Structure 1
């Protein structure tokens, strides 16, 4: 799965940095229409996590992931042949749906394979993901130096082919084990009774009458995350905390260019700072996700770093360029620390707070948190945070810090109520029986 993530994110790195430019230069759209296209397409992605998670509880996860990767590859490659808003919209929507579905399915696959060591596995996976984005982003930057239509098409083609390669890799993956998956073997008649003349008759004579099968009560229906207010509240607060992504990708670059005296080149450098820190520190900080209670305790650290993020961004309006530069870099570091700790915490809690018989459905609902941030985050950053100036950043940091502290209280209360142990809850899917003939 690590190789799958590396190939996937390398292809995505080729595309993410030129998405808007492609639709303007090649697709023939205005900047306003491009924003509307990406916004509506992103909204369709909201349906991906809950549907994919529920399917993963009912059918083999690898089959669902394979279908999703094929969908992503097809939608990307078809973009090469279509122009205009309405022809492009369904393809962008399908691509967004596939991307968010794949994110949840990959998370479930990794958690089932890693078991109790899933926090460390997640950290390694995030390191690989950032490495893939870096490789793809650097390749895209070099290609954009040419800036021709053929280059844009080539980057999109590379993204589409990466999904084809990922689908081939997924097809070779074995289904991850499940603690509740059982195998019932049905022997072929006559094979156990011996061989030779009269063996069948002897077997028939010696075989006892089958015992009467006891009548058992039907298994209870799996838990429904949409009727679990505690988990929904946890996921809603996570959607607020995930706004750090919009701060890094939208808010901080625009803040640098429009309101500070820092060099404009820092708008691109913040991504380098983010990637380098994640590659070198994510595995070490995975300790914050070793158990549900450790993860809940780490939310206090997250709250502090959120406050630091808002304060350093607000200070960047100072007139001295060197001071503005240091403030911007400090904000980028704070956001990155938040990302590393909160990702480990979110990974652990989204799995361990879910019932064992419906973890796919629950994790799918949790996947809506990040999907919602992608839809709302950019608009919120431009219309509220940046418009509010330094005060907007201070309020932003304070609100996210409050969300982290509130989530900590909610999680600890849920753990106490459920009597959760300090060790992680084993991941499983709804019990199924596989018949082998």
Structure 2
């Protein structure tokens, strides 16, 4: 599955950095149409997380992931066949649906195959995925020097090929044991699926936890939108700093995600990390605020400090989220619960741009409040999950997975 993550993300890196350019220069869409397409496809894609998780609780996980990868490949290839806005919107929506489902399914696979070591496994997988994303981005940058429509089309085709390759590699992965399924050999009867009674939609504590997660995922919007726009808006730091800060983010994640993950390998340890996470978000917001009150050199230093702080927050939150999202879920419904948890990241893609642009519009005070608000949400989550985790540790139902 680690090889699949590398291949998948390499393809995504090829396409993500040029998607807007492709739709503008090859498909001939206006700025408004590109924005509408991205927003609509993103909104429809939100359903992919809970849908994928629910299905994976009832059918073999590797087969569900195979279908999703093929769906993503077809959606990418379909984009090459038309420049019609309505069709592009439909194909992008299908691709978004598949992307969000695949994200949840790979997390669920890690949860089932790694067991108690899921945090470390996820950290290694995230490191590999970031390396793949960087490779794809570098390849895209090299291809764009050609400046031709064919170059854009080949990058999109490369994205589709990466999904096809991921699907083929998925065939080689063994089906991990699941509390909702009985694992058998080829000589045994077909696996039977036991219905799951637990529903995350009726679990108000888990839904409240997911709502706080939506806020904690805002670091993503900082790097994709906040930092570049803030640098352009203030004019004190060189514009060329923006891509360098993205490189810093990627390098830090590749180098430090696995070492940091060892501080959150238990549920109690993951919950304790919410305190330093709160501090990291607060410091990131303050550094962004101070960057607007200085000259070019000092502003560059503050922006670099902000990028480092938000990257530390990103890595800490990833570690915490991997553990708590599973620890708070019943063992017989991990797929359904992780699917609902996936809504947090999907929803952030909608509210994140609004949050960071509001911070930019408010100036330095806006960034200070932005960091403080997320820091406060960390403390709220710290309190929110205490009682459910304590109760679960006192009474954990035993689950039997039989092999014949």
TM bin, normalised by shorter chain, reads over 0.9
Return the alpha-carbon distance in structure 1 between the equivalents of residues 84 and 398 of structure 2.
45
* Structure 1 match to 2:365: 391
Q: Aligned in 2, Cα 1:271/1:183: closer, same or farther, shift over 3 Å? A: closer
Give the SS at the match of 1:386. Answer: helix
362 and 427 in structure 1: CA distance in 2 versus 1, 3 angstrom threshold: farther
Aligned partners of 1:260, 1:413: CA distance in 2, in Å? 48
| CA contact 1:314–1:394 (8 Å) conserved in 2 | yes
1:406-428: CA deviations, max 9, x gaps? 0000111211233358xxx8997
Give, in whole Å, the separation in 2 of the partners of 1:135 and 1:37.
27
1:223 aligned counterpart, secondary structure: coil
Unpaired stretches in structure 2, ≥5 consecutive residues: 189-193
* Cα separation, 2, equivalents of 1:242 and 1:293: 21
CA distance in 1, matches of 2:246, 2:121: 23
User: What's the counterpart of residue 200 of structure 2?
Assistant: 225
- For residues 122-271 of structure 1, the aligned pairs below 5 Å read 122-178=122-178, 181-182=181-182, 222-271=197-246
Measured at CA, do residues 240 and 7 of structure 1 come closer, stay the same or move farther in structure 2, by a change above 3 Å?
Answer: same
Residues 176, 426 of structure 1: alpha-carbon distance in 2 compared, 3 angstrom cutoff: farther
Q: Report the counterpart of residue 339 of structure 1 in structure 2.
A: 314
Q: Which residues of 2 match residues 235-384 of structure 1 at below 5 A? A: 235-382=210-357, 384=358
Distance in 2 (alpha carbons) for counterparts of 1:307 and 1:427: 41
CA distance in 2, matches of 1:141, 1:427: 51
- 2:179/2:331 contact within 8 Å kept: no
SS at match of 1:419: helix
CA distance in 1, matches of 2:196, 2:65: 25
RMSD of aligned alpha carbons: 2.2
Instruction: Name the structure 1 match of 2:50.
Output: 50
Contact 1:50/1:367, CA 8 A, preserved across alignment: yes
Aligned positions, number: 399
Q: Contact conserved, 1:260 with 1:319, CA < 8 A, in 2?
A: no
How far apart are 1:49 and its partner, in Å?
0.7
Change (3 A) 1:184 1:36: closer
Give CA-to-partner distance per residue, 1:353-391, whole Å, 9 cap, x none. Answer: 100111110010000000111122123322x11111111
Matched position secondary structure for 2:46: helix
CA contact (8 A) 2:177 2:183 kept: no
Q: Does the 8 A contact of 1:112 with 1:427 survive in 2?
A: no
How far is the alpha carbon of 1:181 from its aligned partner? 4.2
